[in-house]
Structure 1
């Protein structure tokens, strides 16, 4: 397991640096790209081979049922949101769903004020959770993996993060839905997506916000990365919209190489994935990450610079109202 991640880090190349306003993206590629083909969640829905639904009529907030009726594996990405059924959710970790299989996946609620059916099944929400919220969710999931061998998140912290996002962007949402923030700022987010639309056929991105390195995502299969890239750009761009003007500096691609080196020195804890393969948790002094390793390949690797607790919670000081969820949860 260690060797597989090390080999990946040793072969990753840092390519071009692209910049739009407060956000810069360094592309990553693996010259000897090999490994399995698979569909993304969006492609699985589009091809009508993927079904996601509540695990029962009564439902369970932290779990959903996934069926893959296709002939290829389907990748569900950590932080991807799905909407519908009883409430919108995000994936707690990346999962590869085998062809012709059914599994139960761990999720977090991103719509605190609804617990009733709007549709019988879920559909693609077309967004990935904002990077800062995704980082904090990943941290709580990793803690639960270490202490309880569970992929559950700190649900209260997820709701708090969504509330903070609405507060920082001055967004009102009747059901506390994270997606409402994306819809309200769709024009601004699309500006970033269009600015980075020329990025194609890469294996990963490392993203700077206001010149500071925030994190990176690696996807083993380039066609899958092409499909996921707009969502990932939107995830980081949502944080760019929330950034305060603190004096922008020029992004340094050398920091990406340093991050790759530090990932290789992280402590590693491995647990069987809820889908195919293994889930590896990475922890270092100033960074955290996770990797899905399956079919003899690092399918997905993410790494984030650990959040500054004080700066993250500073935006909450003027936002004391907490939405109370219905008793039926």
Structure 2
């Protein structure tokens, strides 16, 4: 493994365990937790301030591409799995992108609203949700296949829709357009109850998530200032999986053993570097145990989302 990645994952420190029903979350502090990098403009803030606009591509709408214009004087960060709503249909980012200041570029996306292809309003707005962990895991596996097949980040859209429909069905959601966002809005009160048990902790830079006693995901960021923009949405993205998995009580587990096993899996993996539009570099892991991506900027790890594969 690259020395930067090895040093990063070998020097994590852990906060208190928080638990509710069948979910447990261990907060993480990275060695860079107090080192703020150059300003990165979060997508929500950029859209709210009118510094960022996102629309269908100028050369014609495409299910798997949208156009981003960053008018800010700082780079814009769009996280893998962040959802946009509006335009022809809702979409999620297929990767993490760091877009230079004063730049317009297309990014690759997946559709999260199978039953609509008509404009609700011309530009995209911020959805306030991430794709669920199950959708992001499936998308990660498909993007890895796509990159190795033809160098594109074009996941199997049918699989993305299938994962969304499975969760909509599992949570008994009625959605005319099979929209991922409807799952969140219809279950808002139910999800808020879960989220209330997982407040962000001091200097927290990430989370490690367990469902029914199994470690299912690792979400890490460069520093606490960056992470705090996403904590609630990351926690929320695992709730559908927890509900779908069943179980109302916590499994008795040895967290130290599970953590060591997963981190060892990461350290033993062979991350592959792929070219990506924007300022950032990207590593991807996809082996028998783990799938996910790691985003770097100037050799600093900015974010990583790594998922335990279902079959493992």
Normalised to the residue count of structure 2, the TM-score between the two structures is 0.94
Q: Is the 8 A contact 1:64 1:106 kept in 2?
A: yes
Residues 221 and 73 of structure 1: CA distance in aligned 2, closer, same or farther (over 3 Å) = farther
Residues 40 and 251 of structure 1: CA distance in aligned 2, closer, same or farther (over 3 Å) = farther
Q: Which residue of 1 aligns with 2:21?
A: 21
Residues 122-201 of structure 1 correspond to what in structure 2 (within 5 A)?
A: 122-201=124-203
Q: Which residue of 2 aligns with 1:2?
A: 2
Give the alignment partner of residue 104 of structure 1, picking from 80, 103, 106: 106
In 2, Cα distance between the equivalents of 1:245 and 1:195?
17
In 1, Cα distance between the equivalents of 2:289 and 2:264?
13
Q: Secondary structure at the match of 1:158?
A: helix
Q: Which runs of 5+ in 2 are unaligned?
A: none
Q: Which residue of 1 aligns with 2:270?
A: 267
Q: Is the 8 A contact 1:201 1:225 kept in 2?
A: no
In 1, Cα distance between the equivalents of 2:226 and 2:29?
13
Q: Secondary structure at the match of 1:267?
A: coil
In 2, Cα distance between the equivalents of 1:303 and 1:126?
21
Q: Which residue of 2 aligns with 1:293?
A: 296
Q: Which residue of 2 aligns with 1:327?
A: none
- Could you list the per-position Cα deviations for residues 225-258 of structure 1 after superposition, in whole angstroms to 9, with x for gaps in the alignment? 1010111011011211212239741243211232
Give every structure 1 segment of 4 or more consecutive aligned residues whose post-TM-superposition deviation is greater than 6 Å.
none
Residues 290 and 253 of structure 1: CA distance in aligned 2, closer, same or farther (over 3 Å) = same
Root mean square deviation, CA, Å: 1.8
In 1, Cα distance between the equivalents of 2:223 and 2:102?
21
Q: Is the 8 A contact 2:200 2:231 kept in 1?
A: no
- Could you list the per-position Cα deviations for residues 52-98 of structure 1 after superposition, in whole angstroms to 9, with x for gaps in the alignment? 11113741100011111112222111111110011000111111111
Q: Which residue of 2 aligns with 1:258?
A: 261
Q: Which runs of 5+ in 1 are unaligned?
A: 310-329
Q: Is the 8 A contact 2:222 2:300 kept in 1?
A: yes
Q: Which residue of 2 aligns with 1:80?
A: 82
In 1, Cα distance between the equivalents of 2:53 and 2:280?
21
Give the alignment partner of residue 219 of structure 2, picking from 204, 217, 220: 217
Structure 1 window deviating more from structure 2 (249-258 vs 73-82): it is: 249-258
In 1, Cα distance between the equivalents of 2:67 and 2:161?
22
Q: Secondary structure at the match of 1:191?
A: helix
